[in-house]
Amino acid sequence: MARKRAHVYVSGKVPGVFVRATTRDTAQEQGVDGWVKNLDDGRVEAVFEGDPEAVDAMVEFCYEGSEMASVSTVEVTEEEPEGIDGFEVRY
């Protein structure tokens, strides 16, 4: 099966509003591998790998984030999949 990888940066009111936990839970529901973390500049960074449709669904999710998030921009770069297994919140 072909895999797709998307590297995403999310800006807006995203730290401290459960974006990482919600992203992890949504990725696990979609069967997507990767990771998510907060950056010192206030953005959230994430990598999604897996079925192309599921990865696209995760990118779309980033435009909304968690229930309390207020997303202003989403930057997406497609990269070569690295074979990540599982999804984690990084600190």
pLDDT tens track for 73-88: 999 999 999 999 999 9
pLDDT tens track for 22-72: 999 999 999 999 999 999 999 999 999 999 999 999 999 999 887 888 899
From 20, 24, 43, 90, the catalytic residue: 20
What pLDDT shows up at residue 1? Answer: 72
Strand order in the sheet with 33-38: 70-79, 4-13, 44-50, 33-38, 87-89
Assess whether 38 carries a catalytic annotation.
Answer: yes
Q: Which two tokens stand for residue 16?
A: 């401290």
Assess whether 20 carries a catalytic annotation.
Answer: yes
Q: How confident is the model at residue 16 (pLDDT cuts 50, 70, 90)?
A: confident
What pLDDT shows up at residue 7? Answer: 98
pTM of the full structure: 0.94
Which domains does the chain carry?
A: 4-80 (3.30.70.100)
